Amino acid sequence: MSLPPLVEPAAELTKDEVVRYSRHLIIPDVGVDGQKRLKNAKVLVVGAGGLGSPALLYLAAAGVGTLGIVDFDVVDESNLQRQIIHGVSDVDKPKAVSAKESIAEINPYVTVNLHQEHLNSENALDIFRDYDLILDGTDNFATRYLVNDAAVLLGKPYVWGSIFRFEGQVSVFWEDAPDGKGLNYRDLYPEPPPPGMVPSCAEGGVLGVLCASIGSIMVTEAIKLLTGIGEPLLGRLMVYDALEMTYRTVKIRKDPEGEKITELIDYEAFCGVVSQDAQQAAAGSTITVQDLKAKIDSGEDFQLIDVREPHEYEIVKIPGSVLIPKDRILSGEALSELPQDKPIVLHCKSGGRSAEALAALHKAGFSDAVHVGGGVLGWARDIDPSLPTY
């Protein structure tokens, strides 16, 4: 279903803009009118990371007149494998600032607005309000539901993308779409998955070039919406499998039992980033990496268990740790392998997975088990900086 263009065309294109966008102008479906609409458009990109990087570069190259960037993070060396808007010289620089500088190199005619703050229920509506279209490339469910609900309340369309390992997904959501065709993210995912069920990219990894594949599709959808050409992915979920090199689409239908969105809520609580059981278990049974170092140095007899995945254990490990992946603990399969005659200390990458495993051990009777807040990343940061991080 084609949709009317989101924005009115700008008054004119300058001579330099005609030269710059000439390959667009000679496409009949875009033409001068479509390029003027892009020039007049205001697009907000949530996140200047894996998906935000190619999206921002191609939106700028396409001639979108105003780009907003929401990001409060700084560039880390581990970002450079996929976040192509940043370079080596940008490490430790705010991502939003780095992205703005790269955009200026791509297209100096683009106005860039920076929103260097954590997107939350208090500021989302104010940030979104002045934009025609939102692109959501975030990697956590709490922010995805926040973006969705804010867009619904403001009547804004948005393009959503997601990546994990070798697979990506893209769709368009617009509750107020014409002709009763409106859909929002909750029609696809009415409720978030249980805490710890779906690993983040930081835990599970992502093929770097997948970001370009999905990010470019997101920009394609944005251009179609802004100019009113083609059939956007409203009502369809596109799924890309890089290993099989297949694209398929799945129809999305309105959830007849979906509740009307009337306000923004506490999305961290709604998504339960860490389960209530894990929070309760960790509340009185968390030690620091410094505490762990003191235990090791004093010769205390305990079992240090790493609950990450084998491929993570190969990258970096705390000396003396034994690998038992979290899922084997949660299923009960590994309980017989745990020592009964000494205390157990669990750790993971940063503390989330070990808290989930800790809750399972407490329920199984290992009441004196503890876990390490900060995990192996905290160990590498504060105890042994010679170790790599990921």
Active-site positions?
201, 348
Burial of 146 from C-beta contacts in 10 A (0-12 / 13-18 / 19+): buried
Closest CA to 256 of 186, 192, 176, 194: 186
For 1-143, strand residue ranges (E) read 42-46, 66-70, 111-115, 133-136
Q: Which residues contact 240 (CB under 8 A, 6 or more apart)?
A: 167, 168, 169, 170, 210, 213, 214, 217, 246, 247
Q: What is the phi/psi pair of residue 225, to 5°?
A: -65, -45
Q: Which residues contact 316 (CB under 8 A, 6 or more apart)?
A: 376, 380, 387, 388, 389, 390
Starting from the edge strand earliest in sequence, which strands make up the sheet with 344-347, in order? 286-287, 370-372, 344-347, 303-306, 322-323
Q: Which residues contact 105 (CB under 8 A, 6 or more apart)?
A: none
- For residue 172, list its beta bridge partners: 159, 234
Q: What is the phi/psi pair of residue 167, to 5°?
A: -125, 145
Distance CA 4, CA 7 (A): 9
